[in-house]
Structure 1
Amino acid sequence: MNIEKTRAVILTLLPYRETSSIVKLYSEKHGLIHGIAKGIRRNNKGAVPIERGHQIELVVYVKPNRDLHTLADIQIIDFYPSIRQNLQKSAIRDAAFELILRSVHQNEPHPEIFESLLLYQSALELPATKENTFSLLWKFHLGITDLLGFGIQYNTCVKCGRDILDSGGYLGIQQGGMFCKSCAATTGLNDTFLDKDTIRVLCDKEIFLNHIPYRELMRISRIITAYCRFHLDIKQDFKTMQFLAEMEQ
C-alpha cells in the first residue's frame, strides 16, 4: 500500500452507509481515483462538509489492483462559491466533469488535465456572460481532447489549406479538422458550421462573445461534444448536455 498526499478536485460524491461517502475525484498525482471517505458525513465538529467541485488536499491510501481506495485527512482548498450559487455555471462545470469521468481511466496520472481543471474552475468563478461561460466549456472540452491526442487546427481548412479565420468553417467530426465552405460542400458537411467569432475564441484570438441566442450556444456545444465523443470513444450521450438544453425552456 502506498500512502500519498495530493491535491484533487471532487467530481462526484455519493452517500455510503450512515457516515461515509464514495468519492470520484481527479487528483494531481494519480489522475482519476475512486475512493471511500469514511466518517465524512458525521454530524460533528470534526467532519469536513465536502461537495462536488471542491478543490481539496487529502491523503490517499493507494491499494494495488484495487478500484476503491481509502481517502483521509481531507482539507478544503477552494469551494468556488460563485459556481455553487449559479445553476448554469454549476451545470457547465458538471459538463466538464462528465467528460473527464467518461474519457480517462483510473490511476493514470495526467498532471496537465488536473491543471486544466483548476484553470477551468477559476475562470468559471469569475463574472461572465452566458456566452463566455459556454465558450469556457467549449475550450475545455477541445483542450482535453487535444491533450489526449486529438487536437484540431482551427484556422485553416484541412483539405485545401485556406484560412478560415475571417469566414468561419465546418467542423469535420470524423475527419478531425475544420473545412472551408467550399470544401465542406464537397465533403457532405452541412450542420457543423462554426462562425468566425467562435473560431477566433477557440484560437484565443478573441476573448468575448456577445448576443448569441441560447439555442445557438447549445448547437455549438453539441457539435463540440459530438467531436469529443467520437474521438474519445464515448458511446452514451452526455446527461449534462440534456440538462443544459432543458434550461433554455
Structure 2
Amino acid sequence: MLHKTRGIVISYIRYRETSIIVKIYTEKFGIQSFIENGVRSSKGKNRIALFQPLSLLDMVVYHDEKKDLHRISEIKSSFPFRTLPYEIHKSSIGMFLDEILNKTLKEHTENELLFDFLYHSLIFLDETDEHYENFHLIFLLKYAFFLGFSPQDSSEIVSQFKEFNAMIPFDADYQKLMNQLILADYQTPLLMSRGVRNHLLEVIIVFYQIHFEEFGEIKSLQVLREVLS
C-alpha cells in the first residue's frame, strides 16, 4: 500500500553495483529501511544527493508491516539545505548529530512529536547565522526527553553518576552551566569557553552512555571538538 510521509535520512550503505539501502526516520512509521535501485548510476531515477545524511524528504512509499525492507515510489527534498552541508562548523555538528541518531533512533512506530522536533531542529541549524555554538549540547538535552531520560536539573545527573560510578568531574560551576543549558532554547546565547563546552559535552555523552549500554564511542567527536575550537 502507498503512503505519503516525510522523512529524515539517517544513513545508507551501498548495495550491489548501483543501488543503496537507506535508513530513514519517517514521520509515519518511525525508522525504516528502503532499497533504492540504480541511484548510483547516471540512469537512475533519483539522485544520490537526496540520500545524504540528515536530508529532509517528502516521500510516497510502499509499506508492508511484514517486511523489513521497503521501496520508495516518489521522493523529493522537502527543505533544501542552504548552509548545513557546506559550512564546516555546521556540517561538523550535523555529522555528530547523525551519529547520535544512528545509535539511538530505534522506534518503528509513528512519533509525531519526536519527528517534528528533529525536523525543525535541523531547519533551525541550517537557517541560523549566529549563536549556534552550543546547539549540539541543547539538542542532546532536549532529545533525551523523547528518549525517556531527560534530566530535570543537574542534580539528577549527579545522582545518576553516583549510582553508576561515572568517573567524570562535574563540580558546582559545571552544574550551574548545565542547569542553564537544560532551560535554554537554541537561540539562548550562553557564553562559555571551548574547554568548558567540550567538558559539558563529555558529561552529557556519559549521561547517554548510562542509558544506552551499546552507545559506545562517538567517532565524530574529535572532529567536532577541533572545528568548534
Q: TM-score range by the shorter chain?
A: 0.7 to 0.9
Instruction: Quote the Cα distance in structure 1 between the aligned partners of 2:166 and 2:202.
Output: 18
1:218 aligned to 2:198? Answer: yes
Which protein, 1 or 2, shows the higher relative CO under an 8 Å CA cutoff with sep ≥ 6?
2
- Residues 243 and 189 of structure 1: CA distance in aligned 2, closer, same or farther (over 3 Å): closer
Deviation at 1:88?
Answer: 2.4
Give the aligned partner of residue 5 of structure 1.
4
Instruction: Quote the Cα distance in structure 2 between the aligned partners of 1:97 and 1:114.
Output: 14
Say if 1:116 and 1:140, in contact at 8 Å, map to a contact too: no
Deviation at 1:7?
Answer: 0.3
Q: Which has the higher helix share?
A: 2
Q: Secondary structure at the match of 1:57?
A: strand
Question: Alignment partner for residue 231 of structure 1, among 170, 194, 211?
Answer: 211
Deviation at 1:68?
Answer: 2.0
Give the aligned partner of residue 70 of structure 2.
69
Instruction: Quote the Cα distance in structure 1 between the aligned partners of 2:228 and 2:86.
Output: 18
Deviation at 1:13?
Answer: 2.7
Kindly report the root-mean-square deviation, in angstroms, between the aligned alpha carbons of the 2 structures.
Answer: 2.9
Say if 2:33 and 2:69, in contact at 8 Å, map to a contact too: yes
Give the aligned partner of residue 136 of structure 1.
135
Q: Secondary structure at the match of 2:12?
A: strand
TM-score by length of 1: 0.76
Higher-Rg structure is 1
1:89 aligned to 2:90? Answer: yes
* Partner amino acid, structure 2, of 1:191: P
Deviation at 1:117?
Answer: 1.0
Give the aligned partner of residue 208 of structure 1.
189
* Partner amino acid, structure 2, of 1:30: F
Deviation at 1:195?
Answer: 5.1
Give the aligned partner of residue 111 of structure 2.
110
Say if 1:34 and 1:106, in contact at 8 Å, map to a contact too: no
Matches within 5 A, 1:1-249: 2-44=1-43, 46-48=45-47, 49-50=49-50, 51-129=52-130, 132-154=131-153, 157=155, 171-174=158-161, 191-193=169-171, 194=174, 196-204=176-184, 207-210=188-191, 212-247=192-227
Q: Secondary structure at the match of 2:84?
A: helix
Say if 1:62 and 1:69, in contact at 8 Å, map to a contact too: yes
Residue by residue over 1:165-224, the C-alpha shift from the partner in whole angstroms, topping out at 9 and shown as x without a partner, is: xxxxx7444469xxxxxxxxxx998612425344223202881023x3323222111111
Instruction: Quote the Cα distance in structure 1 between the aligned partners of 2:85 and 2:112.
Output: 25
Give the aligned partner of residue 184 of structure 1.
none
- Residues 127 and 188 of structure 1: CA distance in aligned 2, closer, same or farther (over 3 Å): closer
Instruction: Quote the Cα distance in structure 2 between the aligned partners of 1:241 and 1:35.
Output: 28
Instruction: Quote the Cα distance in structure 2 between the aligned partners of 1:229 and 1:188.
Output: 10
Say if 1:54 and 1:76, in contact at 8 Å, map to a contact too: yes
- Residues 137 and 172 of structure 1: CA distance in aligned 2, closer, same or farther (over 3 Å): farther
* Partner amino acid, structure 2, of 1:16: Y
Instruction: Quote the Cα distance in structure 1 between the aligned partners of 2:31 and 2:44.
Output: 29
Say if 2:208 and 2:215, in contact at 8 Å, map to a contact too: no
- Equivalent pairs, count: 223
Structure 1: 5+ residue stretches without partners? 159-169, 177-186
Q: Secondary structure at the match of 1:84?
A: coil
